Structures are given as C-alpha cells and as structure tokens.
C-alpha cells in the first residue's frame, strides 16, 4: 500500500504543474468566487486506510455528487417503484437540458441529470416538510462519512435559489406533466440545499466507501444498502454520472463516478476503494478538468478499471 501513497503523491505533483485548469462554474454566483488553483485527492481503501494529497481537507460544494446520496435514500424509501418516475438510461445531453423532457412526457432519463434529481427530491418529500427532508439528507451524509461536522453551505444554497432559473423551468415543466407531487418551490428547496452540501475529499471518499464494499461501510461495520443495490447504483454512476461526458469518462477512467459543478468527483473502484478528487475548473461538459485527469492517472497506475488492468 506504500505504492498507493506514492501514486497519490505523484498525481498531486503532476497536477500541480498543469497550466490549463478549466473554468469554474459562473452560473451559480457563489461558485464563481472559488479559487481555481486548488486540487485535492483522497483514496479510502476497503480495509479502511486513507491516502490523501493536496487540498484534501478543504470543504467544497459537492453539488451533483450529492445526487448519489439522495438516490440511495429514495431507493430506500420507494424501492423499485422509483423507476416508474425516472429512467435508468444515459441522457447524452447536458445536466440542465430540457429538450428530452418534452419528448418523453416529463419523465427524466436518469436520476443524475437535474430533472431526474428533482424527481428524486420530490420522492424524498413524501410525508415530510422540506426542512425535515433536508435534515435527513445532512444526517445521511454525516452517517456515511462518519463525520458529524458536515453542513450545508447556506450561502451557496441561497445563491442557487436566487439564480436557478433553469431548474425552476425543469421543475415547473415536470409539474405541468403531473410528474411532481409537491410544489416546485418546495422540491427545489430540497434540491438546492442538498447540492450545497460542503464536504472535503477525505469526507467524500469515506462517504462513498459503502459502494466499493458491497453496500456495507467496512470502517463502521454498518450496512447501508444491500450488495445488489450498491452494484446497481454503481451501474448508474458509470452510465450517467458525467452527463454527456459519461462515455468519455468510462473510456478514460473505467470506473463508476459522479461529478458536480463544484469540481468534485466521487469514484468507486468496486472491492478496492472509494476516491474523491476536487479541482474547481471544469471541462466543456461541466466536469472537473484536472479531477478527471487525476482519475485517469490513478486508474492507469493502479489497474483498477472495471474493464481490466
């Protein structure tokens, strides 16, 4: 495992030398203010060791990475009934696209594009006040990461609440198709808040460990989901976790992953480790540019790709 230490340090050193760092998301004003010259990586292995480098302790806005946690919660509540409301297919469209929704009568392609995650948030609202649902999601993130200090960045949540016009459009459009059970404002309140969860690479990589270990957190011994469910969440991450960049990510990295416009990516190496990287600059698909490059290096050096070493 000293080898892993060396690999993580090498990646950090190589990434630090990169000049092209991508562009930070500006459509959420609070994210536009983040310094792009940051990079962090944390690898947590299924035997409970953690290897980190760079800014691995700095909390960042996990944004769409949170959709993995809300999907896990919603599957726990609704089981396979969730799939009547949202699909399992890659979209081939940007994260905030509305075009497919009209053709497909308001049923989003998958739970990781914004429309799909909004439906997931609606599912989580059943028999709850928005505040309760938000509280439950925060508790779940803390439970997964075994860290009670995790909080929502309220400034980011407010920033998105004020400027999330496209998400309001998506939600109202689906409500128009009769696909949301709650008012758009309430559903988006939940959605914006879970996207505004702030976590560091170390915390995020611990939170994803159950997906690498058959549904059970090997550090606490607690079962989060069944092995079957963990496998299926991983499948969705592989096919849909990077929006219209999912094919390229599978080609380059070969591991299930979920990205967010805050520049974070959570990646699962089944049976081996959970990995979180963060660098705020994004590529043209809205995925972390240096984060993706770092993961490509990691997959190459470790041979962890699910498609073979």
CB atoms closer than 10 angstroms to residue 135: 14
Length of the chain counted residue by residue? 309
For residue 72, give the DSSP letter: H
**Which residue, among 261, 267, 306, has the nearest Cα to 286 in the 3D structure?**
261
Which residue in the set 44, 45, 50, 64 belongs to the binding site for ligand GLN (CB under 6 A)? 64
**Which residue, among 302, 276, 271, 231, has the nearest Cα to 47 in the 3D structure?**
271
167 binds ligand GLN (CB under 6 A): yes
Site string for ligand GLN, 271-290 (x = CB under 6 A): ---------------x----
Least spacing, CB of residue 26 vs ligand GLN, in Å: 12
Which residue in the set 160, 211, 288, 299 belongs to the binding site for ligand GLN (CB under 6 A)? 160
Distance CA 92, CA 208 (A): 25
Least spacing, CB of residue 1 vs ligand GLN, in Å: 32
195 binds ligand GLN (CB under 6 A): yes
96 binds ligand GLN (CB under 6 A): yes
Q: Do 204 and 264 form a contact (C-beta atoms < 8 A)?
A: yes
Residues of span 228-267 touching ligand GLN by CB under 6 A: 260-261
Site string for ligand GLN, 118-157 (x = CB under 6 A): ----------------------------------------
95 binds ligand GLN (CB under 6 A): yes
Q: CA 116: distance to chain centroid?
A: 13
Element of type H or E holding 257? strand 257-259
**Which residue, among 280, 249, 248, 283, has the nearest Cα to 267 in the 3D structure?**
249
Least spacing, CB of residue 265 vs ligand GLN, in Å: 11
Interface with ligand GLN (CB under 6 A):
63-64, 95-96, 114, 160, 167, 195, 260-261, 286
């Amino acid at each position: 495992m000293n080898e892993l230490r060396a690999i993580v340090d090498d990646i950090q050193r190589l990434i630090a030398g990169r000049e092209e760092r991508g562009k930070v998301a500006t459509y959420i004003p609070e994210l536009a203010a983040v310094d792009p010259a940051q990079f962090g990586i944390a690898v947590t292995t299924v035997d409970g060791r953690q290897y980190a480098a760079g800014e691995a302790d700095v909390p960042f806005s996990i944004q769409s990475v949170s959709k993995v946690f809300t999907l896990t919660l919603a599957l726990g509540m609704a089981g396979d009934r969730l799939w009547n409301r949202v699909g399992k297919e890659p979209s081939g469209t940007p994260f905030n696209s509305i075009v497919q929704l009209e053709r497909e009568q308001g049923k989003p392609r998958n739970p990781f594009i914004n429309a799909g995650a909004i439906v997931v948030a609606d599912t989580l609202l059943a028999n709850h006040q928005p505040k309760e649902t938000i509280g439950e999601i925060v508790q779940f993130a803390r439970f997964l990461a075994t860290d009670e200090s995790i909080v929502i960045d309220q400034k980011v949540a407010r920033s998105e609440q004020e400027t999330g016009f496209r998400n309001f459009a998506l939600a109202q459009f689906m409500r128009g198709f009769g696909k949301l059970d709650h008012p758009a404002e309430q559903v988006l309140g939940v959605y914006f808040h879970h996207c505004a969860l702030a976590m560091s690479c170390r915390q995020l990589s611990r939170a994803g460990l159950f997906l690498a270990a058959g549904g059970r957190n090997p550090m606490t011994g607690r079962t989060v989901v069944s092995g079957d469910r963990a496998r299926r969440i991983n499948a969705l991450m592989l096919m849909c976790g990077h929006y219209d960049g999912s094919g390229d990510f599978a080609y380059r990295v070969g591991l299930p992953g979920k990205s967010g416009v805050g520049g974070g990516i959570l990646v699962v190496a089944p049976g081996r480790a959970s990995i979180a990287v963060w660098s705020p600059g994004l590529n043209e698909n809205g995925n972390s540019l240096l984060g993706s490059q770092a993961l490509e290096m990691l997959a190459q050096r470790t041979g962890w790709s699910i498609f073979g070493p």
